[in-house]
A and B are shown apart, each in its own frame.
Chain A
């Protein structure tokens, strides 16, 4: 995999086309595995109408690009796409997409998981619940489990 990997990062309000993005990466040279992860807004058993996602414009894109670049340094991937939505997301709709492509599945799986773990704990996005009646709910608290998931990749704290 001599070519420089394709890295595509987008932060947008509108929906994305997961199948189309996967197809695009699958068409790259020497790709034998494509992993696609889609994060979806839960209704939490009907309690929520959706979520409102606030982000830090500029830093959100830069941070996800940094994470994707780090994934490309760690694993021999041909390409990675990461798309994160902001604004009001209705329950059942997509929030985040990560697609990774590589010659073999191990690198594609690992890079995708790394991207999601790091994105959840490093990219500046904050979720707030919107209750079923449309009223504003609480800010979602960061989960220790997400920090632990990110910690296992031994992130370089000095680079922070």
Chain B
């Protein structure tokens, strides 16, 4: 699936987007965050303040317990500050 990172999460990971292939044990968006954090210091830093990270699966807001099975695109971003 495609992973997208926005705003300061993008800056901390150093990536705007990438294709990821998490193992089958990663079932929810929250599991995915834990898995991403294990990939290196920059991901640990990006997701360190985990409670503020917002998640969208296929462009719809979801919570951490949302299943990721079948997702094409998952995005991680800080709280929105538009308007």
Contacts and interface: CB of A to CB of B under 8 A. Distances in A.
Given A160-B61, A160-B62, A59 B7 contact: no
Nearest to A95: B83
Nearest to B10: A54
Contacts of A39: 83
B80 A123 contact: yes
11 contacts: A53-B82, A56-B6, A63-B59, A120-B80, A123-B80, A126-B81, A139-B8, A139-B81, A141-B81, A142-B81, A146-B83
Interface string B27-63: 0000000000000000000000000000010011111
Contacts of B6: 54, 56, 124, 126
Interface residues of A, number: 30
Name the interface size band of chain B: 10 to 19
A49 interface: no
A148 B80 CA distance: 14
Nearest to B9: A126
Interface of B: 4, 6-8, 56, 59-63, 75, 77-83
Contact of A122 (B62, B78, B80): B80
A84 B59 contact: no
A121 interface: yes
Nearest to B56: A59
B81 A125 contact: yes
A27 interface: no
A92 B81 CA distance: 18
A120 B83 contact: yes
B61 A122 contact: yes
Give 5 nearest A-B pairs by CB, closest first: A125-B82, A142-B79, A120-B83, A126-B7, A59-B59
Interface string A146-160: 100000000000001
